[in-house]
Every structure is written in C-alpha cells, then in structure tokens.
C-alpha cells in the first residue's frame, strides 16, 4: 500500500531528507544551527540554470557571520570566523556523502566552499565585520571526514583520485571533453579545499601505504595540473583554468621541497 505522502518521501533525495531531519533536531537545542543547513539546502534546491545559486549561498553565509558580530564574543585573530566556517563545512561534508560525484549538487557544494575562501576579507573590520578565512575551520572537518569514512587511512581515497585522473584513466581531450574535465576537477578541488592536511600526509613517512604518496608524486601531479591550466581556455566549464592555476600554485606553496 502506498500513499501520496509516501511517494513524495520516496522521490525526495536522501540529502534533503537528512538536512531537514537535522534542522528539526537542532531547532530546539541550537536555534542558530538550522541556518547553516538552510543555506546548503537552498543551494542544492536552486534550479539547475540558476547561475547565482553559489554566489547567493556564499553571501548568505557571510551575512550569517556578520549577524553574530554584536551578540557573540569574538576574539582576535580569528574573531569567530573559523568556528563559523567549521560549522558550515560540517554541513557540506554531511551533504556531499549523499550526492553522486558527477552531479550538479556535488559541483555546487565544492564551489560553495571555494567561493567562501575566495571572497573572504583580508582583515577584520570592527566597524563593518566581514568574514575572514582561517584554514583550520575547513581542514579539521575534511580530516575528520576522511578518517570517519576510511578508518585510519583517510586520505587513501583522495590519493586514488589523483592516480586515476593523472596516471591511469587519462583518455579524453581536457580542452573539450566534459567528462575528462569533471574527472580532473576532483583532485583540483581537493587541493583547493583541503590542501594542508593532504600535504601533511604526503610529507609523512607511513609504512604499508596502499598507494604511493610522496614528494615525487606530488611534483608529478602538480605538473599535470599545470598542463591542464595551460591546455584549457578561459571559457572552460567550472572555471577550470583558473581553478587549475590556483591549485598548481597552492601545491608549490604547500610543499616547496618537492620541487627542488
């Protein structure tokens, strides 16, 4: 037996069900927490042709941060920004587990976090409080997500993305093939979103690793990303050219010894 309500529930994506459940659970105990979930929910529910979905979500997050300036105790140098980033990143990483890798929803979640970082202010203004970016707010969530999903060898899945994109499944012209562009965008986003903890893994000496992760691999993958940046034009999907350029420079900055 099925009802209209049951059918509607079945048609609703898992990420939406989980977000709405979280909103209900947090509403009484943590009145401010649902706002983080609402931003992510509305981002993913926006029409496919809505090019403002990501910028609007970023603006809402900045507004959420600004709204708390008068009521929250904020101390330098972070002024509560890292905690806010930590909260929104937690919601994003919860949602990303429930969406397929090659979907618009996945792209929007990645672009949202990148957008938060790119649009952040360079310093805090006590008169006009604006969000300032602090890495640990995102990196602790990224590291925790890896470890929770993959036991003690969290970054192995991330390393696998690099190996597959740049060493094994390399067919397709990255300048024009949408599938190939989506494939290489994954490791590029890994660097932009959580390059710091991944660099720590690359620098560490760990016995018994399933996949090779070291300075030589780091340099190889960086060179592949630079090739992509050089190959695609400014009009490439997902702003791939500038993303690849930024990821390459980030890899050099994070692990300069690998390029000596």
What is the pLDDT, as a whole number, of residue 30? 65
- The rounded distance, in Å, linking the Cα atoms of 237 and 178 is 8
Please write down the HEC assignment for all residues of 129-176: CCCECCCHHHHHHHHHHHHHHHCCCCCHHHHHHHHHHHHHCCCCCCCC
Give the separation between CA 218 and CA 93, rounded to whole angstroms: 25
Per-residue pLDDT at 94: 87
What pLDDT does 194 receive?
Answer: 79
CA 86 – CA 84 distance, rounded (Å): 5
pTM of the model: 0.61
**Residue 159's pLDDT is what?**
86
Ranges in the chain, pLDDT < 50:
1-9, 147-153
Q: What is the CA radius of gyration of the chain?
A: 19
Q: Residue 151: its pLDDT value, please?
A: 42
- Please name the residues in contact with 260: beta carbons below 8 A apart, sequence gap of 6 or more: none
Residue 4, pLDDT score: 34
Q: Identify which of 142, 146, 186 has the alpha carbon closest to the alpha carbon of residue 162.
A: 186
The pLDDT of residue 148:
47
């Amino acid at each position: 037996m099925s009802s209209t309500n049951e059918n509607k529930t079945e048609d609703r994506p898992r990420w939406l069900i989980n977000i709405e459940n979280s909103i209900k659970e947090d509403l009484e105990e943590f009145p401010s927490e649902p706002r983080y979930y609402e931003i992510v929910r509305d981002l993913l529910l926006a029409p496919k042709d809505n090019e403002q979905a990501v910028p609007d979500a970023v603006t809402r997050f900045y507004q959420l941060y600004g709204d708390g300036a008068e009521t929250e105790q904020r101390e330098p140098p972070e002024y509560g920004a890292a905690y806010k980033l930590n909260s929104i990143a937690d919601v994003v990483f919860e949602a990303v587990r429930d969406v397929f890798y090659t979907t618009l929803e996945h792209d929007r979640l990645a672009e949202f976090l990148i957008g938060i970082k790119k649009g952040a202010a360079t310093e805090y203004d006590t008169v006009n409080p604006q969000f300032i970016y602090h890495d640990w707010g995102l990196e602790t969530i990224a590291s925790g997500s890896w470890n929770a999903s993959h036991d003690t060898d969290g970054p192995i899945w991330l390393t696998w993305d690099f190996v597959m994109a740049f060493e094994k499944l390399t067919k397709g012209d990255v300048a024009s093939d949408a599938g190939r562009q989506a494939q290489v965008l994954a490791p590029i986003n890994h660097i932009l979103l959580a390059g710091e903890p991944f660099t720590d893994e690359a620098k560490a000496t760990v016995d018994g690793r399933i996949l090779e992760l070291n300075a030589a691999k780091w340099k190889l993958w960086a060179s592949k990303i630079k090739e992509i940046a050089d190959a695609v034009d400014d009009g490439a999907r997902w702003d791939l050219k500038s993303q690849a350029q930024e990821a390459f420079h980030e890899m050099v900055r994070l692990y300069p010894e690998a390029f000596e």
